[in-house]
Structure 1
């Protein structure tokens, strides 16, 4: 099953494999495992302090049907084998599922009192399991909080992008329906709308990468948490087993078998099986998460997400003709009427005959310093005051409330650049300055 590479570049298409719900379920599964283990040992304590009838309750509470099931192959959990098969199977069949089945059978053989072990089980074994359960619950709460925060941030970024994309589409539609010589609101200028959209797209991609990093880190943290949980469970069960081993020789043999079975389970066995079943749902790669790929995996048929940037993402009308400037470039501008200092700014003339001035050409700079509708402006050559200077006079539309007249004294870097800008501005503006206007403005 192959994905369309073009779709993965769509601005509103999320390429992230969100495994956070799967990780949350995995934490709950291990918490339930600890709960089951605690219930089993607590039932042993009840048996020790009451009577042999409690052993029946113990056997029932450790029934394989009530235990958390773990994956054993890519198709899902397999039927746990019978005890006789377990005893003759190799260590590769030692897992959590078979362990609980063996535990149930061994429980049925416990028929004598265990009063000498009661104090130790109450003071050491049970508290450790409760502490482990509390630790897993705390990790669950912290993970849930972080999930909510990161998902909310990412969704807000996507929503804002959709909003700006709708505004951009609207500006395209209005631009296409605008009469040739009509004046439009510069806020609906396709170039300006696209510039804002590109800025939001950049913010979205950063949020997207942050969200992906969080998912990959969560998967790595899950792996470490599983191994740590297995190690602690082994330690707890080691102590529990040793208590019962010393009660009686028969009990010793029984629990030595249980402990041997449990200790034979590799720390990463369940993790490796988890990868075999869910590797195509995890966002990590084999480089960031060891053991992710295996021979029977279908992961190769699912393409990894592309590294996205503003040059590769696509969205409708990105290359629409109305978004391509008539002319753009860097010009020097006189800072004030009585100042001789010149500073560089980025200027753009759009298809709708707006002139925008920005501090730079980067798309994150979306607030123009000045906006002029060129048909309502005049332009004059200022060769006498500078080699490549000219000035533009008109109303500055950049403020939503104040539309004041403004004169920009601009300077090109060469004669060719001066001719290019001057000719385009002359064609798009109104009449040239009259002699009287020139004197008045000077």
Structure 2
């Protein structure tokens, strides 16, 4: 405001309005901080409820709890520790929410009230001072206007010496009134200025108080949430510490001790088939009359293949791939029911062959044709044992000899000059064999030997 102007022209800086806006800004800042802390209070309250939900997940005992040791230091103890600490976490978060609501937010609420009171005080004082100044200025302006009229009359009346009808209209008198009013106006303006200056000066201290209160509230907030953070860390640390202290073998050792009657004892040796007994294990029908390896002539290529054969008391001759009952299929590859088979004669030493004719009992008997099975043993004596045992169980015995192999035929082929004599002898022999078969008589092989009597 210019000191030469009676009444300032244009917009005058409004100190009171500016200070009022300042207080409004502080008020809104405090309100925003209150909302921030209230949201934290709600957050911790919600976290407390959420931790209660977490606790319910482990509230009930473990399923199959009987599988775990109930002694201290085991898994059940760990879960009990987790339940306790989780319950404490829920309660402590609820407590933190209460501390924020009762110990932090009220500080800002009181500060908010102080700012509003300060604004109200400023508004009341400024309004009162402004009214007094405005009234004083209007009175001064009124007398200035009156002075202008009187000066105009004075000039129009001829200037000095002109008689005025009213001495109170003397410009001098009016000027004195203007100066009087101006003194009053300036006094009011200066009084208002001093009042606003005092308020303005007090704002610095008040704002320091505002900031100090905010700092105190945030420090109290930090103490509350910091303490909660430390509690949370400590409770989780206790869970981890308890879990770490669980011995790695405590559960297994307790389990083995509890169920030792059903668990496998590692000291107990493995079972051996030799030591196992079962009903009819030693019944006579389960023992072979004779068993061992023989060679059987193939149907297609005519080669001899070695297999394992067993003659049973049921009068079956079974063929297996080998004698091992653990590694191979125990079912026979060939089964001949001897009472329905006929056996030929045993070849002369050192040869060790004989023929057994019959059907494979494992196949459909209506669709299976009779086949001549030629067997060969490693020695003539062994062949004689097999021939004698099989011939006793066979339905028919014949004098038929196995046909010679190609190799044997070439090795024993007669000289050319004896071809006719050999042919004659073969014809006679065939005729004699045919007569024997036709007559139904059974011919015992001249080299057959009685097999070892079966074990009873």
TM-score using structure 2 length: 0.39
User: Computing the radius of gyration over CA atoms, which structure comes out larger, 1 or 2?
Assistant: 2
- Higher RCO (C-alpha under 8 Å, 6+ residues apart): 1
TM-score using structure 1 length: 0.40
